[in-house]
Structure 1
């Protein structure tokens, strides 16, 4: 039994803004028979609720990298998946892991068109009503949640912190290229969906881009599709 478990490839799931290690529960259920699943989590939420939020992208990348390195089993291949903020941070994590001679087999990125495309005004410092109106546009919170003040009280500090992390003026835009193959998916109702082929500018390896029905959180209705994508790309990578 232990031999079988240890031979499974690893997958690191990187959560989106406002998310935590439980954000991909349906995906975990779909993949757990084939992968050793790791769910790194940024401070200030979930099991790390008592820790202070991070302030910029560099700190978030370093924090997630430390968690990945602690869980990484170098005797098996691995891949990285990230949605939205998770994709932004995941790209830089792939780059660093390559420099450490432990490149992932694949990087699956959803809800993000790649670097240097999005040009939205910052929202982290907006008044509450305006802030949640912008969050609503992303499709991240249901209308039911938006009507319950206690739930908004719970989500507001985490969401503000994560948007602030991404909007920090100290952040340095990613300008290099990774050597890891990329599979990128966006919902057709996302603002920058038609820019998805921008990903080809940021990898020297194979890059496949797909647009599916839905908004920024299309993944919530497409976990089975996403799980199949992950299985397919890992099978293809391991067959080489």
Structure 2
């Protein structure tokens, strides 16, 4: 099963944007981006195993292993410049993928880290260890469409295992010394995100020798849903692609 979902194949596109979902998320989260982004960009959304059309695939329980699998799957698609966009858990995974790609001589042109603390500043909260109601409560607090799904008992039974796996994966993640990024990084957060403050988001500047920028938009942890046009405009401006 492929690791990527491409809502609209664009053989003429000058660049690919690989999008990594949040904990409990799937590739469908980025489906609207394909229509909204410049024709010069092809969106490739990562589909983690154990959910949606990969429900039968075994979970990956280690963030470093998951990053290696994603980076390996990207290899055939690196015939064009590539940028990475990750939200929340996806931002940390995108960072690890960027390190691996750089090591292999095919660094991304840019890393966008959305709604996340930097890799060396982890949250002490342990959602994965809570009971089912506790996991649901954490999802509802963060917001997003996944929280609504968890209100349906039947869907909840399907969704909770991979939500719990994702929380366990990111909560067990530890930053390791190694390749230092030379890739430019942009951190983007919502001004009312309970998960990451502006001061914490600035810490992303410490992970790269490339240039760093921070963008703060109105909204909570899932600011990028209502602010989609502004997020995409920021990505396009940064990547210097026509709107």
2:203 maps to 1:235: no
| Aligned match of 1:12 | 18
> Partner of 2:3 in structure 1?
none
State the alpha-carbon separation in 2 of the partners of residues 33 and 7 from structure 1.
7
Is 1:66 the counterpart of 2:72? The answer is yes
Q: Which region of structure 1 is more displaced relative to structure 2, 147-156 or 49-58?
A: 147-156
**Is 57-66 or 28-37 further displaced after alignment?**
28-37
CA–CA separation in structure 1 for the residues paired with 2:163 and 2:190: 21
**Partners of 2:185 and 2:210 within 8 A in 1:** yes
Q: Distance in 1 between matches of 2:60 and 2:146?
A: 26
Distance 1:94 1:189, change over 3 A: same
- In 1: Cα distance, 2:12 partner to 2:20 partner: 21
Equivalent residue, structure 1, for 2:27: 21
Partner of 1:193: 197
Task: Quote how far apart the aligned CAs of 1:159 are.
Answer: 0.5
Indicate if the aligned counterparts of 2:190 and 2:218 stay in contact, CA closer than 8 A.
Answer: yes
- 1:120 aligned to 2:127? no
Give the Cα separation in 1 of the matches to 2:189 and 2:108: 21
TM-score of the aligned structures, taking structure 1 as reference length: 0.88
1:119 aligned counterpart, secondary structure: coil
CA contact (8 A) 2:33 2:43 kept: no
Aligned to 1:183: 186
Shift in Å at residue 32 of structure 1? 5.8
Matched, 1:172 2:157: no
| Cα-Cα RMSD | 2.1
Aligned to 2:216: 211
Shift of 1:221: 0.7
Matched, 1:84 2:85: no
- Write the distance in 2 (CA, Å) between the matches of 1:121 and 1:84: 14
String of CA shifts for 1:164-221, please: whole Å, max 9, x gaps: 11123xx431445311001111111223222111111111111000221111111111
Gaps of 5+ in 1: none
Gap change, CA 1:20 and 1:179, over 3 Å in 2? same
Change (3 A) 1:66 1:142: closer
Contact 1:105 1:181 survives alignment (8 Å):
yes
1:45 corresponds to which residue? 51
Cα deviation for residue 150 of structure 1 reads 2.4
8 Å contact kept, 2:60–2:66: yes
- Distance in 1 (CA, whole Å) between partners of 2:38 and 2:21 is 17
Q: Residues 198 and 36 of structure 1: is their aligned pair in 2 closer, same or farther, counting only changes over 3 Å?
A: same
Higher alpha-carbon deviation: 156-165 or 133-142: 133-142
> Equivalent residue of 1:220, what SS?
coil
Matched pairs, number = 230
Pair 1:10–1:148, CA change in 2 (3 A):
same
Q: Counterparts of 1:143 and 1:54 in 2: how far apart (Å)?
A: 22
Query: For structure 1, which segment, 171-180 or 137-146, has the greater mean C-alpha deviation from structure 2 after superposition?
Result: 137-146
Q: CA deviation at 1:142?
A: 6.9
